[in-house]
Amino acid sequence: MKQESELAMDVAAPELTKQTGLMPCHGCEELTCPIRQALGEADLTTCSNAVTRMSARAGEKLDVAGFAPDTVFRVVNGMLMQEHVSEDGRRHIAAFKTNGDLSWPLPHLKPGDIREFYEAVQPTELCIISVDPIARSAPGSAGLLKALYGAARDEVSRTQSRMFLLARSSAAERLAGFLLDLAERTGQATRRGVELKLGMRRERIADHLGMQPETISRVMSSFKKAEIIRLPRPSLVIIPDLQALSAIASGVS
């Protein structure tokens, strides 16, 4: 009963708030977005209802079960935590999606299927894209479909790499690989090194890496003692030398 109650709390959690006004692509400066690159301003007018811009405060959740199979999510800025929940209430953090990342919702067709939620780790904006209307009406849709296929292929490759990491790597290698990946995607270069903000709790990182929170803390402390990282505060990691962290992630040292 406790697990069912926890799942019900997820369903009832605050949803992302829809922004009103013109189609979000008009005036948008996200030039790396695959929709804008493939379609351009002219074609965007032919699919004005295909994109919805939404925002979420930290901690808000989105249940993706109600979205159509052709839906694609794109994080404009911020970070979403992708969470999978089984029928018995067990949970797993599948990924952390950040600026520019694309994601496809899992199908939820029958009882017993894994349910999927996105939780905003920090204030986040995203676009929810309905691909079918674009494919039917926009002349430049072939370019969009090609871009989405490439992104999906890259996502499969990252998933395979992560599966190998979890299966074959030590705790230090897993955490080093996680920090390195996040630093490359979201880190800010400073005089002190690459600064990485960790908005998620240690428990969430541990879930994602198949570890215990205590192990995360212990390995973090060992990295700090070895001066691989600096920890001015729990939510801020400074990496003075990315190569040193990369060597640990690769099992070299």
Query: Can you spell out the DSSP letters for 35-49?
Result: HHHHHHHHHHGGGTT
3-state secondary structure of 3: helix
Mean pLDDT of the region 153-178: 81
- Asked if domains 2-165 and 169-249 share a fold, the reply is no
User: What digits encode the pLDDT tens for the residues 48-57?
Assistant: 677 888 889 9
Helix or strand holding residue 128 (H, E):
strand 115-130
Q: Give percent of the chain above pLDDT 70.
A: 80
| 106 class by beta-carbon count within 10 Å (0-12 exposed, 13-18 middle, 19+ buried) | middle
Please give the single-letter amino acid code of residue 244. Answer: A
Mean pLDDT value of segment 25-44: 69
Instruction: Give me the pLDDT at residue 18, please.
Output: 46
User: CB-based contacts of 133: which residues, under 8 Å, 6+ apart?
Assistant: 47, 49, 50
CATH number, domain 169-249: 1.10.10.10
Average pLDDT for 13-27: 50
Collapse the DSSP code of 123 into the 3-class scheme (helix H, G, I; strand E, B; otherwise coil) and give the result: strand
Is the pLDDT at 222 greater than 60? The verdict is yes
Bridge partners (DSSP) of residue 237 are 196
What percent of the chain is predicted at pLDDT more than 90? 34
What is the pTM assigned to this prediction?
Answer: 0.78
Per-residue pLDDT reduced to its tens digit, 75-94: 988 999 999 888 888 888 98
Residue ranges in the chain assigned as alpha helix (H)? 2-11, 34-44, 131-137, 141-168, 171-186, 202-209, 213-225, 242-249
φ, ψ of residue 53 in degrees (nearest 5): -95, 130
Q: How confident is the model at residue 188 (pLDDT cuts 50, 70, 90)?
A: very high
Nearest-angstrom CA–CA distance, 22 and 61: 25
Domain boundaries, the chain: 2-165, 169-249
Residue 109 has pLDDT above 50, yes or no: yes
* pLDDT value of position 27: 65
Q: What is the predicted pLDDT for the residue at 68?
A: 83
pLDDT the model gives residue 7: 38
- DSSP labels for 5-64? HHHHHHHTSPPPEEPPSS-TTTT---TT-HHHHHHHHHHHGGGTTSEEEEEE-TT-EEEG
What would the two tokens of residue 29 be? 């400066």
Superfamily, domain 2-165? Jelly Rolls (2.60.120.10)
CA distance 101 to 175: 21
Q: Is the pLDDT of residue 100 over 90?
A: no
